[in-house]
A = this chain, B = another copy of it.
Amino acid sequence: MSEEAEDTAAENTAAEATDLYDDDGVIRSEYLARVGAAIADRDILFLKEQVASLHESELGDLLESLQSEQRRALVGLLGEDFDFTALTEVDESVRREIVGDLPIEQMVEGLGELDSDDAVYILEDLDPEEQDDILARLPFTERVRLRRSLDYPEETAGRRMQTEFVAVPPFWSVGQTIDYLREDENLPFSFAQVFVVDPTFRLLGAIDLDSILRSRREVRVEDIMHETSRSIPALMDQEDAAQLMSQYDLLSAAVVDENNRLVGVLTIDDVLDVIQEEAEEDIKFLGGVGDEELSDNVVSTVRSRFPWLLVNLATAILASLIIGIFDATIQQMVALAVLMPIVASMGGNAGTQTLTVTVRALATRDLDIYNAARIIRRETWIGLINGLLFAVLVAIMAFVWFGNAQLGLVIAIAMVINMVSAALAGILLPLLLDKIGVDPALASAVFVTTVTDIVGFFSFLGLAGWWFGLL
């Protein structure tokens, strides 16, 4: 966030925070209407006083709640008072729309005020030519910093890091450090650690601010610094970096290049975002949607959901082919057509249960080669026991419904077979996908229900056909 914006925001949002959102955490309609009116009236005074002073996340929420034309008008009216940090808080489609509209001068000015990680976050969405255009107009130091971040691959720690940080030599005293912090004008807006580096910027350690505050002025920096073995290589995947920071409860972590030279700092709020995105991704993949956002339009959403449905169509046809094998059997005993979805559906649900637990355990690294055998055994037992319990229930139901005890026996056996298959598919498929380097959340669900549909229909219809001699 830019320093100017923050100063105003810190004072003003006090009153806003209570008023802005209703009990459901939604921006109040009165406020939205007031802003809408101010935009229509080009009431710049109100907008600069009441909107420009919002916290970046509040301004982001407001932008997302406005109509597309209002949004553009608002950003235009705010001019240089528009806090670019808000752009890091909105959906990608909203960001693109706003950025696409801005004159390059305003982009350059706005980005120049941001911390490097926020600037990179906005820049990385642009075409290489646009990036170059903007970078060329920025002051030298800033250009080099942003370029360095952008040169790291997407989704690495280097891309997400902030290149502004505080570093001091090990031979300084606490007093010298405090004096430096009091006098230097070019410090980052906020920081949680001071890093200790040698003359070539190789990382030696770090000091938490509370350690500095507790120590006497004459204490030497190297005596209170702690080793930063948990520094993060710039090329580390951002999820691994997030995992590391979350495991060790780090508020900020040093990012180093291949020569262990300090190049930036990752902060906990970036990590929070990465972890939330990761969980979000698992949920969406398991639900059969890609990385769509609520603000996406109909066409792009259809396009993103279509492939998942197409794969499902293929597997549904596969299941139908299995049923097709037994069409003569069904014709002689229609009860089979009535009952067959029960076997398939129970298997599908039991498989999804196992799958959900497995995918999350893989994501949180609770499942590994040491306990895999134990978990597979556990799931098989659960499948068997639940299979037996529901076998009894459906056998009774089938008998009561169709007055045919043998039909009850057949569906019971098919149920046990399918529930055990469901358990095995629910754990083995994601393990296999993980092993070959595919995100298990991505494809497991459809594979698991394919297995349970096929096994369910085949075992039930096949058994029935054989038992009643109807094949």
- Asked whether B298 lies within 8 Å of A323 as measured between CB atoms, the reply is no
- Asked whether B365 lies within 8 Å of A26 as measured between CB atoms, the reply is yes
A269 and B370 CA atoms in complex are apart in Å by: 28
Say whether, besides A282-B283, A305-B353, A327 and B320 are in contact (CB < 8 Å).
no
Q: Is the interface of A mostly helix, strand, loop or mixed?
A: helix
Residue from B297, B352, B366 within 8 A of A287 (CB atoms):
B352
- Asked whether B341 lies within 8 Å of A316 as measured between CB atoms, the reply is yes
Q: Which residues of the partner chain B approach A457 to less than 8 Å between Cβ atoms?
A: 341
- Asked whether A365 lies within 8 Å of B24 as measured between CB atoms, the reply is yes
- Asked whether A360 lies within 8 Å of B284 as measured between CB atoms, the reply is yes
Copies of the polypeptide in the assembly: 2
- Asked whether B284 lies within 8 Å of A215 as measured between CB atoms, the reply is no
Q: How far is the CB of A36 from chain B (nearest CB, A)?
A: 11
Which of A279, A292, A308 has the largest count of B CB atoms less than 10 A from its CB?
A279
Encoded as 1 (CB less than 8 Å from any B CB) or 0, chain A from 272 to 305 comes to 1001100110111011110010100110011001
A108 and B124 CA atoms in complex are apart in Å by: 53
The stretch among A140-148, A152-160, A242-250 that forms the contact with chain B is: A242-250
Q: Which residues of the partner chain B approach A212 to less than 8 Å between Cβ atoms?
A: 213
Judged by a CB distance under 8 angstroms, whether A11 is at the interface is yes
Residue from B323, B349, B355, B378 within 8 A of A301 (CB atoms):
B378
Judged by a CB distance under 8 angstroms, whether A29 is at the interface is yes
Q: How far is the CB of A321 from chain B (nearest CB, A)?
A: 8
Judged by a CB distance under 8 angstroms, whether A209 is at the interface is yes
Q: Which residues of the partner chain B approach A288 to less than 8 Å between Cβ atoms?
A: 349, 352-353, 356
Say whether, besides A17-B230, A360-B283, A342 and B317 are in contact (CB < 8 Å).
yes
Q: Which residues of the partner chain B approach A324 to less than 8 Å between Cβ atoms?
A: 338, 401
Q: Which residues of the partner chain B approach A284 to less than 8 Å between Cβ atoms?
A: 356-357, 360
A29 and B324 CA atoms in complex are apart in Å by: 50
Residue total for A at the interface (Cβ-Cβ under 8 A) = 124
Judged by a CB distance under 8 angstroms, whether A10 is at the interface is yes
Q: How far is the CB of A274 from chain B (nearest CB, A)?
A: 11
Residue from B313, B393, B453 within 8 A of A393 (CB atoms):
B313
Say whether, besides A24-B368, A248-B57, A334-B331, A10 and B227 are in contact (CB < 8 Å).
yes
A92 and B308 CA atoms in complex are apart in Å by: 37
- Asked whether A309 lies within 8 Å of B366 as measured between CB atoms, the reply is no
- Asked whether A309 lies within 8 Å of B190 as measured between CB atoms, the reply is no
Identity of the chain B residue whose Cβ is nearest the Cβ of A297 in the assembled complex = B378
A26 and B215 CA atoms in complex are apart in Å by: 38
- Asked whether A214 lies within 8 Å of B187 as measured between CB atoms, the reply is yes
Which of A212, A249, A385, A453 has the largest count of B CB atoms less than 10 A from its CB?
A249
Q: Which residues of the partner chain B approach A375 to less than 8 Å between Cβ atoms?
A: 294
Judged by a CB distance under 8 angstroms, whether A382 is at the interface is yes
Judged by a CB distance under 8 angstroms, whether A191 is at the interface is yes
Judged by a CB distance under 8 angstroms, whether A344 is at the interface is yes
- Asked whether B370 lies within 8 Å of A294 as measured between CB atoms, the reply is no
Identity of the chain B residue whose Cβ is nearest the Cβ of A184 in the assembled complex = B214
Q: How far is the CB of A225 from chain B (nearest CB, A)?
A: 10
Judged by a CB distance under 8 angstroms, whether A306 is at the interface is yes
A213 and B166 CA atoms in complex are apart in Å by: 12
A55 and B359 CA atoms in complex are apart in Å by: 26
Encoded as 1 (CB less than 8 Å from any B CB) or 0, chain A from 207 to 244 comes to 01110111110000000001101100000000010010
- Asked whether A309 lies within 8 Å of B390 as measured between CB atoms, the reply is yes
Judged by a CB distance under 8 angstroms, whether A45 is at the interface is no
- Asked whether B341 lies within 8 Å of A323 as measured between CB atoms, the reply is yes
Residue from B268, B340, B352, B382 within 8 A of A251 (CB atoms):
B268
Judged by a CB distance under 8 angstroms, whether A172 is at the interface is no
- Asked whether B357 lies within 8 Å of A289 as measured between CB atoms, the reply is yes
Judged by a CB distance under 8 angstroms, whether A178 is at the interface is yes
Which chain A residues numbered 49 to 69 have a C-beta less than 8 Å away from chain B?
A: 55, 57, 64-65
Q: Which 6 A-B pairs have the closest CB atoms?
A: A287-B356, A14-B229, A279-B279, A209-B209, A26-B368, A337-B337
A-B contact pairs, 18 of them (CB 8 A): A10-B226, A26-B368, A65-B371, A181-B213, A191-B210, A209-B209, A251-B251, A275-B276, A286-B286, A286-B287, A289-B357, A294-B361, A294-B367, A294-B371, A302-B382, A309-B349, A312-B346, A341-B344
Q: A24-B368, A284-B357, A292-B357 are in contact. List 9 more A-B contacts (CB 8 A).
A: A14-B227, A25-B240, A209-B213, A275-B276, A289-B356, A306-B386, A309-B390, A323-B341, A327-B335
